[in-house]
Amino acid sequence: MIRFLVRVLGLLLVAAGFVGLVVDGTRSIANHEIAFTPLGEVLFQAFPQSFPMLEPAITRHVSPVLWDPVLLTLLLWPASIVAFVLGAILLWLSQKRPEPVGYLTER
């Protein structure tokens, strides 16, 4: 059951990444310049009240080192690429393991 949910989430993230690439590509063609939507902008639009409280919570409760080089860099990456890569990782993790091939055959 968990494998199914992880696989569905992975497929949704891959689809969202593809849609994001199409939207960013259309915007890039219309503006005659390459433009990607950063992950931080998408998260801010999705969670406008709780997203600004993320930095103080992480720097106070977890570690300031986690916020500055790690999460700030991740929030500046294109959202479509992050969604596609995360979805691909989830799809890879949800694969069925191959059945072991026995060297001894029963007769």
| pLDDT tens-place values along the chain, 107 residues long | 889 999 999 999 999 999 999 999 999 999 999 999 999 999 999 999 998 888 888 888 888 888 888 888 999 999 999 999 999 999 999 988 877 776 666 65
Cα-Cα end-to-end distance for the chain: 36
Domain parsing of the chain, residue ranges: 1-36+80-95, 38-77
Q: What is the pTM (predicted TM-score) of this model?
A: 0.78
Q: Give the Cα separation of 55 and 60 in Å (integer).
A: 8
| pLDDT for the residue 41 | 92
Query: How far is CA 87 from each of CA 11, 50, 104, rounded to the nearest angstrom?
Result: 6, 24, 39
Say if CB 84 and CB 18 are below 8 A apart: yes
SS3 92: helix
